[in-house]
Amino acid sequence: MKKTLILILLVSAFKVFAQHPDLRQVWYAQSVTINSVTTEIPNDPIELPYVYLHFFNSTSGLLGSGNTKSYYATNCDIGFVGHANYMGTDIFEFIDFTISQDITNCSTEFINFMNIYVNFFSDTITEQFTYNITTEADNSKTMLVTNNNGDNVIYTNTFFNSAPQDMTNNNWYLHNLIIEGVDNNIPSNNTELSEITLNFNDSGNSLSTNSCSFLIAPHFFDFTLSQFYLYEPGASLSACGIPSNNVFDNLYTNEFYLGNLPGPFSYEHIINGSTETLTVTNAVGNQAVYRNFSLLVLSTQEFTNSIFSIYPNPVSEFLNIEVPNNEKILQVSVYNLLGKKILTTTENSINLSKYENGIYLVKVLTKNGGSTTKKIIKIGY
């Protein structure tokens, strides 16, 4: 995976002031105004989908700014580093400002906007900035950052959006993977890749899928073109125990998804009675075909969502897992939205009270080879 952050600002908080309660989150630039000339971010989903500014929730006051280009391109960096002091509840100051760049593989559009954006922050050696945060009618937030010259950058705290509701309402199961016109069915007669799932997490605005490996990435949907883009992926690339499974896992996780970031990925949703089919096509024409039911049929009993249950959901403390009487849990794994495995157990009751609130995925394996994944929501208690 490429570098994960182009622009890093190291912040040293020499003075302690109470910042705005909404400051410490990710902000997405919309426009830069310098000398009364406003330049809007191109919003090109491939070249420059967004430029972000992140006030981290830490006592160090760490601040980061960058763009998503570094996730899928090399030799394209335009950025700066420095230190900042918070001078008041709505003022911060930069010192030790240093600009760095590598524009070997950058487009003209990318260079032009990033230079304007960097110049806003580097116009003077020691620069003070004021910021003002307002709440819009749709409850989104807008932040106006202004420098000493009266120039400004407008940010919003929204960029990623939800998938269509008919896609978020289903758990999707891979039925076929078509690479360069060749069908690649899930290897049969093994318990390791008994099913491969795909979920669109409505609350987190992200896609997640797991085989032996696990992938999760925030998504942006272009509903007009029936396409989506994936940015800032989190992946746990785990090796399969069976060699043929490794080949399929690589085709699916790496070649189909990770090798084609950020997209576009086109989608087609077809409903035929109780059967729903979702076909995802990547940028080079390969396809993953999903349906709303699993291919998994065990020799003794089908292990499906109807007989596998977790409760309560949302959960604040203990999560309970129920499987059929003739099944025994082999392993339960819990993943966060970055794809990191945070917990592994063989118990059917899990204490989640110490984990942060948010969305998690719970993957259950049984000794008879059953496998299924459920999305849960952790709340406070």
Mean pLDDT of 324-335: 79
Question: How many structural domains is the chain composed of?
Answer: 3
How remote is the C-alpha of 316 from its chain's centroid? 24
Question: What would the pLDDT profile of 167-222 be if each residue is shown by its tens digit?
Answer: 888 889 998 999 988 888 888 766 677 788 899 986 668 899 988 888 888 899 99
Q: Which of 236, 269, 295 is the last residue of a domain?
A: 295
pLDDT(255) > 90: yes
Question: Residue 245 is part of a domain; what is its CATH number?
Answer: 2.40.128.270
Looking at the fold, whether 190 and 260 belong to one and the same domain comes out as yes
Q: Which of 113, 132, 156 is the last residue of a domain?
A: 156
Looking at the fold, whether 195 and 251 belong to one and the same domain comes out as yes
Q: Which of 260, 295, 330 is the last residue of a domain?
A: 295
Taking the C-alpha atoms of residue 277 and residue 281, their distance in angstroms, rounded to an integer, is: 13
pTM over 0.75: no
pLDDT(252) > 90: yes
Question: What would the pLDDT profile of 267-305 be if each residue is shown by its tens digit?
Answer: 999 988 878 899 999 999 999 999 988 765 333 334 444
Which domain does 37 fall in, by range? 8-156
Least trusted range by pLDDT, from 46-50, 144-148, 283-287, 314-318:
46-50
Closest CA to 197 of 95, 110, 308, 81: 308
Looking at the fold, whether 88 and 135 belong to one and the same domain comes out as yes
Looking at the fold, whether 169 and 276 belong to one and the same domain comes out as yes
335-to-121, 149, 304, 363 alpha-carbon distances in Å? 38, 47, 21, 8
pLDDT(373) > 70: yes
Looking at the fold, whether 273 and 317 belong to one and the same domain comes out as no
Looking at the fold, whether 284 and 205 belong to one and the same domain comes out as yes
Looking at the fold, whether 326 and 280 belong to one and the same domain comes out as no
Mean predicted lDDT score pLDDT of the chain: 79
Instruction: Tell whether 1 is covered by a domain.
Output: no
Taking the C-alpha atoms of residue 40 and residue 30, their distance in angstroms, rounded to an integer, is: 6
Task: Please give the pLDDT value at position 57.
Answer: 56
Looking at the fold, whether 143 and 179 belong to one and the same domain comes out as no
Question: What would the pLDDT profile of 51-71 be if each residue is shown by its tens digit?
Answer: 888 776 544 455 556 666 555
- Write the single-letter amino acid at 35: N
Looking at the fold, whether 282 and 326 belong to one and the same domain comes out as no
